[in-house]
A and B are shown apart, each in its own frame.
Chain A
């Protein structure tokens, strides 16, 4: 569908009349403090058979615009102006009856989160069946199985009798795609259809979606925060920023020659498009060569080649209960060995279930290894007593994925950052307050943040707080477990920059756990690729990215959205 010559049409539609046209759309939400304009001036056109992507960060109004097109704005939202023309008919103020007619049949939807969008108490087959039934299509067991099979679900007849919790994320997303396309709608709204999935699964699903929609001649409105993905999958890209469409055009053109400053920033910071490690150090007067040579990257730490962490033959076996008092062994981490040099960043990448987070938890001494050793600064951590573990924690600090869940909502920011100092009995009240102020400066947050609570901060700000808290004890090693995965692209770039800057200033060592290879490329010196508990490839970032040895690594690299796009060198 990257070619625009798809001209399969439904009867009665002329190819030169747009299937969906949004004109000057304005949407507002009623909140406690009055009306808030979520979308100010949105306009886009989708021709029959065409794929159009809306790109923007959270809060840009991209999802709201798409939801308005299918009449699913939340209760407090309303269309304040403009038109939504579906094949010439204005549906912006259509009756609920008319919308029920259109939904499913004419406009289908594939929602964002496969975990929450299937009703957990009904079988998958029932949820497909009711869709077919509501739109007056044959809905026998064979029809249901056929719909599921078309979406690439193996063994569909049996699978239809299972519940959502018996499906993996990728399988659920296939089921949702099956539901969205079951009644062969003319327009499919795909709202971040794969953002919750691993890259390789993401690619399979998008490939399949593309194949199905091009066979059916369906137009697709793709909502995504990932510019690389949008450019790769869509004919046209529409960029939204703060409720406005700031730029629109053919994908490649827009990517290669962005006009609006926001688009330019987006292109520059899209992790899937960037090719090189963040060069913050250069601004601090360190030459690029020094940075790219991992052994010399640390400008502060004196012993540059010392291994601060040595992971030796690490394994973790979980016992899974399998009924009747028996248990089966599940090897989450299988004989993993690698070293981390002081002052460098080592990334562990892999898909969900590869064991990367389990490694992190063992390094943090939160989980006991089944076998193998973790040597920190020359000392085996498993031999530590309670008091020594306490001291160890001071030197190795975590930053977790979810900035919403990892900060106590009842603690203000001052208390959050001060807590580790208090726990470790460092300094008196005055010196601790001084330290908190310094830390906030280091992570570029205003000191007024101290009195605020986590729910008053944005995701990026919260992650900065989490970084400040991790830095409070002047640790040597920081374990970042998917520390930027929950953030928008631009915020993600800012946080990665901050981490790189702190590293060169404080000589920190990072162990970076992530599923996102694009992020790895930006921040890591060394990469360890994990698959099903085993370490399958390790090497310097440049080696792994330029000449991957294993098929698995190649598949991971290929699956990065936008990896296949050619970009002018000044952008990359």
Chain B
């Protein structure tokens, strides 16, 4: 029982990263219809940025947690203005290829300077211990990651469902042309939404730095799983991607817990689940069928 709880907890922490990344992808896809392949590279930049801030500038984890998402959000907004927007009228494949190329550039740029070995990054002092939560001791930092991720997901949900800005973004996402005819300047929301999604990936990266190996390829390994998560949740569905993120994290941890030879299956499992979901519901668990254009 205690073991099961521990695996469940680890699954939720793993799911927290998937959920944060999938949430950013879903927000961006919903508004721009761009599948941002560079999302994994941004996550890596978040983690590396935290490492560089600490080792070269002397800024602590807490500073990195604020500075990196903001910097990357600004980077994302510039990127959207300078290149993504230019391809927006073309086939979505062009932006997919653009962000794929960008991924390779960012990875190699980091690789050429810091090499491929993992860089050590310690959790902040206050969170280095464990938290006694009854059944057993949880690593305090992982509890922090889970709390942060849940808080951010709830915050985004609140923003989208309870504020005027969220209402406008929902309208612009669902029916861009109708919304412009009703007086909404849809174009004005595209850049901030893109930056916001990128910022979420950066935040996930900073949170990952103390518990995941910080290296140039850390995002490339994760992003494929995140794509599967987004597809399972339903492309563009905010709630679906968050729910699927946590669910896949849990399932992976439980299967891993079955024993060593199950570890391989846990890697493949997400894609099996994706295939099954697609056969059963082609639009994903919470996705809506796209209306024929």
* A and B from one complex: no
